[in-house]
Amino acid sequence: MLPNISPYLKGLELKPEASFENMTVFPLIHDNGPGVSYLTLDEALDFRVIEVTEVSESGEVPNLLVTNKAEIPILILAGEELVGAKQNRLVNATFLVAGLSKLTVPVSCVEQGRWSYQEREFKSEKRMSSPLLRSVVQEDVSYSVRARRGYRANQSRVWEEISAKSARLQVHSDTLAMAAMYESYDNHLKDYTTQFPRLSGQTGFLAAFNGSLAGLELFDSADHLAKYFDKLIQSYALDAIDLKQQRPLSSSQAAKEQAESWVTELKIAPVAANPSLGLGTDLRIEGKGFVGSALLHDETLVYLSVFARAEESVQERSGSRMARASRRGIF
């Protein structure tokens, strides 16, 4: 039984923050050893050693079929977007697909108005869903895992979040696609990547909007963070742009204290561990004001993501409270 993840966060350091517009990033550094050997989803697609397709000719909205043609594992992160086939999807949880194997991966639709083939295989536009949406999915998936119903999210809730954000950002898409928001704000999102350079040895970061923490990302090595860094920063930037008109909730000093508190609480937060669908162990972590998940493989914390609870993010943004997944009868 794994009581918490503190053994895998030894020496975790919070470095001085950098800010741009209403977004603040606190670099994280920790020594987690050499890390696990794997290809990223984008690398595997570029090298043509992965196929991501519908599970059948007719397809199933909540599932995709992943075929790994490489001899080493491929890491697919929770929140990564796959574009094409019958409709665009995001991945519900983080999976390490074994070499020379196939895996059915649970996903959510991020495009409402299409159910027809564009092409047979999915591709990547190197996008992650934003932390507000990932928080919604992670909270629902964690509840589903606890209920032994698999890695399922509330599809209606996903569509609601995309629709509401599109309206706030004044982005129109005939298929209500999440991708349209990234395409509309492409140049502005790229501006953020120049404002948050990686530090030597950096393995992750904490990010805040308007002085309130939004999420944490942590990898097993600095080299692996480097492969995802721009993609992740741009996903956080989309929420920062969305929330730009919001009144700051706290000072920068308060945000730093909150970041330090998150790191402390994360080390002692209770953990629920279950075998992953791919390699390794899926971890579900819940603490005061946050929900997290991680993948553990070969005694290495491969990837950890933590988000402010979706209901609290919604309440802060709009002054209303969205009921927890467990209270809405979503499954």
Could you report the per-residue pLDDT of 104-158, keeping only the tens digit for each?
999 999 999 899 998 999 999 999 999 999 999 999 999 999 999 999 999 999 9
Give the pLDDT score at 322.
Answer: 36
Reported as a pLDDT band with limits 50, 70 and 90, residue 318 is: very low
Could you report the per-residue pLDDT of 51-79, keeping only the tens digit for each?
999 999 999 999 999 999 999 999 999 99
Give the pLDDT score at 327.
Answer: 35
Reported as a pLDDT band with limits 50, 70 and 90, residue 317 is: very low
Radius of gyration of the chain (CA): 18
Q: What is the pTM of this model?
A: 0.93
Burial class (CB in 10 A: 0-12, 13-18, 19+), 21: middle
Cα separation values, 283 from 90, 121, 248, Å: 19, 30, 33
pLDDT at 310 over 80: no
Q: Which residues contact 2 (CB under 8 A, 6 or more apart)?
A: 271, 273, 283, 296
Give the pLDDT score at 328.
Answer: 38
Q: Which two tokens stand for residue 16?
A: 């001085």
Cα separation values, 319 from 22, 77, 164, Å: 19, 31, 15
pLDDT at 329 over 60: no
d(CA 121, CA 106): 16
d(CA 286, CA 21): 30
pLDDT at 315 over 50: no
Pair 207, 25: CB distance under 8 Å: yes
Number of separate helices (H) and strands (E) present in the chain: 8, 18
Q: Where are the domains of the chain?
A: 6-318
Reported as a pLDDT band with limits 50, 70 and 90, residue 326 is: very low
Strand partners, 107: 91
Give the pLDDT score at 314.
Answer: 45
d(CA 74, CA 21): 35
Range from 18-32, 58-72, 240-254 carrying the lowest mean pLDDT: 240-254
pLDDT at 320 over 60: no
Of how many residues is the chain composed?
331
d(CA 136, CA 159): 11
Give the pLDDT score at 250.
Answer: 58
When pLDDT is averaged across residues 193-200 and rounded to a whole number, the result is 95
Pair 10, 31: CB distance under 8 Å: yes
Give the pLDDT score at 2.
Answer: 77
Give the pLDDT score at 288.
Answer: 85
Could you report the per-residue pLDDT of 150-185, keeping only the tens digit for each?
999 999 999 999 999 999 999 999 999 999 999 999
d(CA 283, CA 117): 35
Reported as a pLDDT band with limits 50, 70 and 90, residue 312 is: low
pLDDT at 300 over 60: yes
Report which secondary-structure segment, H or E, holds 75.
strand 74-76
Give the pLDDT score at 113.
Answer: 82
Q: Which two tokens stand for residue 66?
A: 């992943």
